[in-house]
A and B are shown apart, each in its own frame.
Chain A
């Protein structure tokens, strides 16, 4: 509970000025999200008015110059890359957090955590570049052309791993110590303690971590743009090139005009809706009482 309150009376004139200044800062920062949503929608409205929503799913393809705006291949691309990378990164991240808490000696755990933090600081364009010059040629040896859904999933998984690992780490350290002592007193083995006591107790934190990483995966642009090949076609195998919603925006925004530009803003709105629903879900999960 903060001790300084704006509504309680203060003898000082300067305090009123301070309150007004701070409030306006708060209003300004709070409004940014609404500004973003507002501008995305405002720019998306022209194409929605002339073509309607259904054409984004029923048009023969994505040929913006001849007014055909089928977004489904990109939607599938985004979805596949997201699901694949989350499936890959989640166990790796959670096991890494388990390692730091229940396996590694303190020093090793500290070094490993630092390693992961380091990983999270590396920009997406560097991962994308590495993927393009190292990973893609390797995949090309197995199944050409190399730039593929698989490359996208692998790079994305590396990028979102720190998110899930660090949130899982934090939620594991919140598991009450008496739970662990209780488990030890019952003579539970290490794996039984982790499965039966730690995971259920840290459940909501782990879910929040998964949701956060999902958000990062769906919003990631540069890395996936650099390794996925960017062909507008729903991928039918892991080795096929594809294009995500985000990559589509980044690639075409530079020269898009009129309805085409507007259609790109529609995909921006779709992304925003997705992120907002994730934030709401995370909010609901983390607001439930976890540790009694």
Chain B
């Protein structure tokens, strides 16, 4: 045996462990900083009071409410559209057919569109063309366009995990397609749909750039969906960039946002581990 391969082996091992350690170290630094500085000084009052002096003091109650409304609109619009498209793509069209392929490709592009372009589009289309102005409605609709690809992809995944035999047996029994869908496929595909829903909420919650010039900056309690409302992520941006002395509250808001997203992402992976996997084993 010559020594060279051993040396190469060591070198690669060093590289691999080096990268892993540095990556985990950075992740740890970010999370630790946000949790300790932001979480350490968090109290319930912060969540339930209104911001004062442009957010330097006070809480984030109206901002949480605006965020919730934006999310509600996003999901109310994107869920039916996404579910319909996912059913169409997974059950009613094949790779060879032009229509399905076109829809799929355009969704691929949609998934890659930078969020700032969604912002530009939302501003031009929803705010200006449809005349919705800077409003929670415009922001929610813009985000709905953005989460569709994620939603459709994991819902499709859910439908794919339904065994072929279900469809064959249903066809053999002479069931209509709509009852096959309603009684067999939909219940079986719910976990995938749920994962898509949760991931979509996560993506929408994390979004900032698409909301700056669609839902706006106003940090009061929104009176209606046509009111401008500030999302949590925009609040963090505004506090850290435009307001001097806003860092403390920015930390707290960042902590709240990170915790929300962690809960959301973990529940998504929990659902997919629990249900998606089991379905495949059962078949």
A119 to B109 alpha-carbon distance, docked (Å) = 24
Whether B202 sits at the interface, judged by CB under 8 Å, is yes
**Chain B residue at smallest Cβ distance from A111:** B24
Say yes or no: A158 contacts B26, CB within 8 Å.
Answer: yes
The answer to whether A95 and B113 touch across the interface, beta carbons within 8 angstroms, is no
Q: With A and B bound together, what is the CA distance between A124 and B236 in angstroms?
A: 11
> Are A12 and B177 in contact (CB-based, < 8 A)?
yes
A126-B212 contact, Cβ under 8 Å, with A2-B90, A3-B164, A29-B82: no
| Cα distance, A36 to B87, chains bound together (Å) | 24
**B283 within 8 Å of A (CB atoms):** no
CB distance B240 to A226 under 8 Å?
Answer: yes
Q: Are B202 and A249 in contact (CB under 8 A)?
A: no
Give the shortest distance, in Å, between B226 (CB) and chain A (any CB).
19
A30 touches B5 (CB 8 A): no
A19-27, A69-77, A178-186: which lies at the interface: A19-27
B241 with A279: CB separation less than 8 A? no
The yes or no answer to B50 lying at the interface (CB within 8 A) is no
A55-63, A169-177, A188-196, A235-243: which lies at the B interface?
Answer: A188-196
- Assuming A29-B82, A33-B106, is B19 touching A264 (CB within 8 A)? no
Check A25–B176 contact: CB distance below 8 A: no
Number of interface residues of A (CB under 8 A): 93
Count the A-B residue pairs with Cβ separation under 8 angstroms: how many?
283
| Residue pair B112, A190 in contact (C-beta under 8 Å) | no
The residue in chain B whose Cβ has the minimal distance to the Cβ of A15 is B177
Asked whether any CB of chain A lies closer than 8 Å to the CB of B45, the reply is no
Q: Is the CB of B112 within 8 A of A278?
A: yes
Contact B81 A126 (CB under 8 A): no
Are A5 and B257 in touch, CB under 8 angstroms?
Answer: no
The answer to whether A23 touches B209, judged by C-beta atoms less than 8 angstroms apart, is: no
Question: From residue 135 to 164 of chain B, which have CB atoms closer than 8 A to chain A?
Answer: 145, 148, 152, 164
B194 in the interface, Cβ–Cβ < 8 Å? no
Q: Which residues of B contact A (CB under 8 A)?
A: 5-6, 8-9, 11-13, 15-20, 22-24, 26-27, 29-31, 33-34, 80-85, 87-94, 99-100, 102-103, 105-110, 112-121, 123-125, 129, 145, 148, 152, 164, 167-168, 171, 176-178, 180-181, 202, 205-209, 212-213, 233-234, 236-237, 240-241, 247, 250-251, 254, 257-258, 261-262, 264-265, 269
Closest 9 CB pairs of A and B: A219-B114, A25-B84, A123-B206, A12-B176, A95-B19, A221-B209, A191-B12, A30-B103, A22-B88
* 14 intermolecular pairs with C-beta atoms under 8 Å apart: A25-B85, A30-B103, A32-B110, A36-B118, A125-B208, A126-B34, A130-B30, A158-B27, A218-B114, A220-B114, A222-B233, A265-B120, A265-B124, A278-B112
Known interface pairs A26-B99, A92-B23, A189-B9; 17 further A-B residue pairs with C-beta atoms within 8 A, sorted by A's residue number: A10-B176, A14-B176, A25-B81, A30-B102, A30-B107, A33-B109, A95-B15, A95-B16, A99-B17, A122-B261, A125-B254, A126-B258, A189-B8, A191-B12, A192-B8, A222-B209, A272-B113
